[in-house]
Chain A
Amino acid sequence: MKKMSEANDQRKALHDPNDHKDRVELTRSRIVAESYVDHVRTAADGAIVTFDGCVRNHSHGRRTLHLEYEAYEPMALEKMREISMQLHEKFAIDRVAMVHRLGRLEIGETSVFIAVSAAHRAPAFEACRWAIDTLKRTVPIWKKEFFEDGAVWAEGELPPPPGAAPSAKSAS
């Protein structure tokens, strides 16, 4: 474990998210997409790809009333920062903005928003897709779904075992 955390420290030192001017946040307020899009927009970019994850009014055939999200907040932020660092390693992109909302969300509201800018569109599309798929598998955030006849914790995904490189094979 010690060796692994040393490697992590080294990676963090080499790829400080501040160097990339990325913006990674958790919030309990309404997500204003424009502010995140503006954050990644620079004169060097020819493309910005965004993902807007929003609250659906049904789940497994039942009508959803609202959702509540909770997180292991410090670890969730660390995992989201790791994702943004990995995006720069994997794709020829410029900036990343990534925010997840917590607390009670109503139908139609944005729960997660990701914006990626790049000189060219292909890496921006690929990076944005990889970011949301990896977030859904590795970031400690949980969703509780409220229905007319009760509430359930959403069926989640098991994060990869310690030491395994995060991948984004399955997405729901």
Chain B
Amino acid sequence: MPVTTAKVLFFGRLKELVGVSEDVFELRDGTAIEQIFAHYAARCPQLAAFRSSVVASRNREFACWETPVHSGDEVAFLPPVSGG
């Protein structure tokens, strides 16, 4: 499996917990969004605590946790939205 990269974005309180708004993540093509989250959650236990209220997106569409990520994809982890 070739190693490639994807862009990972954090917003709201997740951004503050992780300490960055944007990161480049090295992955094997087809890695699930869940595994990317687990990578950051391992480094930041507070992030892990938010898992059940986090929604993910891939390329600006809401995506389920099993969604495979490919080279150049943009993955974002979104806390509950509070616009309006």
Contacts and interface: CB of A to CB of B under 8 A. Distances in A.
Interface in A84-143: 100, 111-112, 132, 135-143
B63 A156 contact: no
Contacts, number: 91
Main SS class of interface, B: mixed
Interface residues of A, number: 37
Contacts of B53: 158
A136 to B, nearest CB: 4
B76 A75 contact: yes
Greatest chain A CB density within 10 A among B60, B82, B83 is at: B83
Interface in A132-172: 132, 135-144, 153-162
Main SS class of interface, A: mixed
B12 A5 contact: no
Interface of A: 1, 4-5, 8, 53, 69-72, 74-76, 78, 100, 111-112, 132, 135-144, 153-162
15 contacts: A1-B58, A70-B11, A71-B83, A72-B57, A136-B83, A136-B84, A139-B81, A140-B11, A140-B83, A142-B11, A142-B82, A143-B84, A153-B82, A158-B53, A162-B63
